[in-house]
A and B are shown apart, each in its own frame.
Chain A
Amino acid sequence: MIPARPSPNWPLWIGVVGFLAAMTVWSAYGIGFSASELACNIAGGTRLLEESWPPDFGFLPRLAGPMMETVYIAIIGTVVGGILAIPVAVLAARNLTPNRPTWFVDRNFMNILRTLPDLFWAMLFATAVGFGPVAGALALTVFTVAVISKLYSESLESIDMGLPEAIRAAGGNWLQMIQFGALPQAMQQYVSYALYAFELNIRASVVLGLVGAGGIGMILETQRANFEYERVTMIILAVLVAVLIIEEISESIRKRLT
């Protein structure tokens, strides 16, 4: 027979819920949120919604180019970043790194990349190469390295070290040990992470466009600034559909992998 269920730790639960509620209220106060103001603004919001409908379907043909640019930026970022992430991940994997100093430096490098948001990189590269798709692609490259390398290095740390040892025993050098002994074992995870990064990059690519990195996001920002709300709606719908389709494809590939 199953032993009697132990009673829940009520004080703990009340404490946790109380703490979270207090934090939320405090934060809302901090950003000047007030329910009455929100209520007053609903009128303005409703007007905006009315102006935004119906979507301007006539604008659709002019979206194809920018949309493709957004996808190109994401593809370049994913492919270049995905390749660069491999050495970063390998050197940060405790079981594969050639020595401790390398591991230490690479691991911290990886963590710094992860700490800084994609917008930061976009600004940085925009300063370097000017606003535009190139800056966007560079930013997403770094962002992709940040996303993939940590996950991938953790997968690499959990591989069976028997095969790398066998490569060594056959006289293979460090690079050959990595290529033939380590990478094949975490191949599936790698592809899965790369697809995941691609999904994130599509969305990030739209957002980067808002700050001038080209693509559909840039059109969105221009139309918004010109109060062309029906076009804005059209753009948002188009982005929504495109992102959904891409994520669907990516996810079905990832599912098939596992």
Chain B
Amino acid sequence: MSERPMTSRSGAIRFHDAGIVYPNGVVGMKDLDLEIQPGEFVVIVGSSGAGKSTLLRAINGLNTLTSGRVEINGEALNTGSTRQLRRVRKNIGMIFQDFRLVKRLSVMSNVLIGRLAHVPAWRSMLGLWPREDREIAADALKRVGITDKAWVKASQLSGGQQQRVGIARALAQQPAIILADEPVASLDPVTTHQIMRDLVRINRELGITTLVNLHFLDLAREYGDRIIGLRFGELVYDGSARTVTDEDFRDIYGRDLTADDVVEDEAVEGGEGGGE
């Protein structure tokens, strides 16, 4: 099969003075100024409720800013405009902790959902996917190494395999940006490392800007280029994963580190890009 570029546009993200106050008064994001360059691999850490999901979901408009603005490739996001929202989302893949697959459909059908915004709606709804889109979906499956599962029902896969389908679905969008909200939180340690390696490899191979929420510090250190720390919706750390210290993590978390903050299984140390 021909190697096709999985992405065409660059994925720059920029928050200006951004804030989110939820209707119940909870501050999910506060005075955020943040710039992410195309192709970066950013890990976001912070304790539960720190605002990690809030930040990711503001990028694709699942959350609406209540102050300030966020720009995707220099274009300010306006969640009031359904049209712009769909156009922006077309370009942003999202991966979830709970996979969010259509369980009763095949892996292939699930990956094709990544093409929804790229084909006329009637084609997707009648299942008449153009050949090109089916090839893009097949290519995405190949990149996560589960081509052989294409016609298996999603419900019959293991957690790790389901998450790979989730990644393939995001890849099928040929996105400039991938948002992964705790993609490994419901996986075992071995699978966790495999999935993290997949994400890093895809980031390297395709230059897709990747933001990953994690709550395991060793994973953040091992796989991140840049680490962003949040606390009560505020940016409290922004630096390289090479130089981050335990002290920094203590500041981000506002408490001492415990065994629960790391994936203990160190048996699967492996180089990046090796997981195919």
Which B-chain residue is minimally distant from A178 (CB atoms)? B125
In the complex, which of the residues B89, B102, B103, B118 contacts A169, with contact meaning CB atoms closer than 8 Å?
A: B89
Residue B62 interfacial (CB < 8 Å): yes
Q: How far is the CA of A166 from the CA of B103 in the complex (A)?
A: 13
In the assembled complex, which residues on chain A have CB atoms less than 8 Å from the CB atom of B170? 170
Chain A residue with the shortest CB-CB distance to B97: A162
Kindly supply a per-residue 1/0 record for chain B positions 102-118, scoring 1 wherever the CB is within 8 Å of any chain A CB and 0 otherwise: 11110000000110111
Chain A at the B interface: mostly helix, strand, loop or mixed? helix
User: Which residues of the partner chain A approach B118 to less than 8 Å between Cβ atoms?
Assistant: 171
Interchain CA distance A163-B121 in the complex, whole Å: 18
The docked-state distance in angstroms from the alpha carbon of A187 to that of B98 is 20
A162-B98, A163-B100 given as contacts; is B125 within 8 A of A175 (CB)? yes
The reply to whether A170 and B173 contact each other, CB–CB distance below 8 Å, is: yes
Q: Mark B88-104, 1 if CB is under 8 A from A, else 0.
A: 01101110101011111
Residue A180 CB within 8 A of the other chain: yes
- Give bound CA distance, A128 to B101, whole Å: 47
Q: For B104, what are the chain A residues with a Cβ–Cβ distance below 8 Å?
A: 184, 187
B30 within 8 A of A: no
* Chain B residue with the shortest CB-CB distance to A164: B100
Let me know if A176 is at the binding interface, CB within 8 A: yes
Closest chain-A Cβ to B209's Cβ sits at a distance in Å of: 16
**A172 and B116 within 8 A (CB):** yes
Q: Is B250 an interface residue (CB 8 A)?
A: no
Q: Does A168 contact B (CB under 8 A)?
A: yes
Contact A169/B125 with A163-B100, A184-B104 known, Cβ cut-off 8 Å: no
Which residues on the B side are within 8 Å of A162 (C-beta)?
Answer: 96, 98, 100
B105 touches A184 (CB 8 A): yes
Whether A166 and B100, one on each chain, are in contact in the complex, defined by CB atoms closer than 8 angstroms, is yes
Partner of B62, one of A165, A172, A175, A184: A165
B residues within 8 Å of A by Cβ?
Answer: 60, 62, 86-87, 89-90, 92-94, 96, 98, 100-105, 113-114, 116-118, 121, 124-125, 169-170, 173
What are 8 A-B pairs at a CB distance below 8 A?
A168-B62, A170-B117, A173-B121, A175-B121, A176-B124, A180-B113, A180-B116, A184-B102
